[in-house]
Amino acid sequence: MKIHEYQAKDLLRSAGVPVLAGRVARTADEAAAAFTALGTPICAVKAQIHAGGRGKGQVKGTEQRGVELARSADDARRIAAALLGGTLVTIQTGPAGQLVRQVFVESGCAIQRELYCAVLVDRRVGSPVLIASTAGGVNIEEVAERTPDLILAEPFDPDRGLAGWQARLLASKLDLPTASWRHAESFFRRLCAAFVDLDASLLEINPLVLTGEGTLVALDAKMTFDDNALFRHKEIASLRDEAEEEPAEIRAAAAGLSYVKLDGTIGCLVNGAGLAMSTMDLVKLHGGEPANFLDVGGGADVGQVTEAFRIILSDPNVKAILVNIFGGIMRCTTIATALVEASKTVGFTVPLVVRLEGTEVAEGKRILAESGTAIITADGLTDAAKKVVAAARSAV
């Protein structure tokens, strides 16, 4: 789960990680008032969307950047007016961009140096790791690609946390002035503790700033959370901003389905994540474009499968649907019954290609045949892919 920058900063502040004072605003007047209330000579007005690259991003049809400095309350009002209600396109949003519904007005600080740090779980090591680099404020992936020597990493045990010496080692390698080391030690250790305590999956500070006073401050903060751990963090779960998410994905999650919307024309309904991904690949291999990833899971019932069909059909781009089931725990009869049910209650407006294999396959096929539902049956994966691609083409 993703959250906004201003929410991440609230969490960091509570965890004792230094951030600058700031206020969220949903109107231009609120932004002007925030500037006045903060009482600093300069503020940054930052669009709040669930995507990075805002500083270089641009509001559609204007010259407005996603982040701009304001030197007066009127300045803040003007920038906020240009951002709010606009569609911000960044390197991470794709060409469609994302609607800006709120801005964060944050006081400025004297910047001595810009650094980078992040906490994430290193799969290879099997533990969380603090990553840091002297290359701050830039695309860290490019740094990792071109100059991997500039990336420092310190793995740590979740219960013991980052050791003091590890923090000092990083401070030294980042060439921080020795007078700042105690501060840096506190900053890094608290950041790592927050990552573990909040069950984050990514905590990225880019840039991490060494201020004129020699302290470290998180100038930006990107935080995502482990969905599997939200059950023990009700306060974090409540930060979810559904306006930033795909409506069909929210609906699928509520039904216990795993769905990701894509841009193609062939809807896919599959059991199992690996098989669902492979089915998308198969469609593409045969010249089609998948409209979605959808895993109904191993234990889905008729109601869930019917909802899955509804979600796929709610996408106006869908020209044909491929159902690919390898029945293990999921019985082919469940899918067949749901299919018949869905055709009655939802009504299929596009061709439906069905490939069933596995548990109770013969009985499943019989249910489909006897129901008289208009479906195209397929034998094997390749046959199914060819048929659904052809069906989508002729439907266009």
From residue 286 to residue 315, what is the string marking binding to other proteins with x (rule CB under 8 A)?
----x--x-x--xx----------------
Of the listed 116, 154, 185, 360, which one is catalytic? 116
Structure token pair of residue 73: 């309350």
CB of 355 to other proteins, least distance (A): 11
Map the footprint of other proteins across residues 118-157, applying CB under 8 A.
Answer: 121, 123-124, 126-128, 140-141, 144-145, 157
Told to check if 379 binds other proteins by CB under 8 A, we report no
| DSSP structure string for 255-312 | TT-EEEE-SSSEEEEESSHHHHHHHHHHHHHTT--B-EEEE--SS--HHHHHHHHHHH
**Residue 22 or 128 with smaller CB distance to other proteins:** 128
Told to check if 282 binds other proteins by CB under 8 A, we report yes
**Given 272, 311, 333, 334, the residue binding other proteins (CB under 8 A):** 272
Nearest to 313 by CA among 351, 364, 273: 351
Q: Which stretch binds other proteins (CB under 8 A): 53-61, 97-105, 221-229, 337-345?
A: 221-229
- Paired with 321 in beta bridges are 267, 352
Tokens 């004129």 belong to which residue? Answer: 212
CA distances from 238 to 12, 97, 242 (A): 16, 25, 10
Q: Which stretch binds other proteins (CB under 8 A): 31-39, 99-107, 273-281, 337-345?
A: 273-281
Say how many Å lie between the first and final Cα of the chain, rounded. Answer: 36
Told to check if 275 binds other proteins by CB under 8 A, we report yes
CB of 61 to other proteins, least distance (A): 25
Whole-angstrom distance, CA of residue 142 vs CA of residue 133: 12
The CB-side HSE value for 216 (13 A sphere, CA atoms) comes to 31
Q: Which stretch binds other proteins (CB under 8 A): 77-85, 116-124, 176-184, 307-315?
A: 116-124
Map the footprint of other proteins across residues 45-104, applying CB under 8 A.
Answer: 92
Say how many C-beta atoms besides its own lie within 10 A of residue 368's C-beta.
22
Q: Are 269 and 322 in contact (CB under 8 A)?
A: yes
**Residue 277 or 376 with smaller CB distance to other proteins:** 277
Instruction: Give burial (CB, 10 Å; 0-12/13-18/19+) of 41.
Output: exposed
Tokens 């034998």 belong to which residue? Answer: 379
From residue 335 to residue 374, what is the string marking binding to other proteins with x (rule CB under 8 A)?
----------------------xxx---------------
Told to check if 253 binds other proteins by CB under 8 A, we report no
Task: Note if 259 is an active site residue.
Answer: no
From residue 156 to residue 195, what is the string marking binding to other proteins with x (rule CB under 8 A)?
-xxx------------------------------------
Q: How long, in residues, is the chain?
A: 396
Residues that bind other proteins (rule: CB under 8 A) add up to a total of: 59
Structure token pair of residue 129: 């790791």
Contacts of residue 60, defined as CB under 8 A and 6 or more positions apart, other chains included, come to: 86, 87, 88, 89, 97
CB of 294 to other proteins, least distance (A): 9
Phi/psi at 141 (nearest 5 deg)? -65, -35
CB of 286 to other proteins, least distance (A): 9
Q: Are 283 and 290 in contact (CB under 8 A)?
A: yes
Handedness of CA 344, 346, 348, 349 (dihedral sign): positive
**Residue 281 or 370 with smaller CB distance to other proteins:** 281
**Given 41, 232, 235, 242, the residue binding other proteins (CB under 8 A):** 232
Q: Which stretch binds other proteins (CB under 8 A): 107-115, 175-183, 320-328, 337-345?
A: 320-328
Catalytic residue numbers, as ranges: 116, 204
Binding region for other proteins (CB under 8 A): 92, 121, 123-124, 126-128, 140-141, 144-145, 157-159, 196, 199, 201-202, 226-229, 231-232, 258, 260, 262, 270-285, 290, 293, 295, 298-299, 326-329, 357-359, 380-382, 385
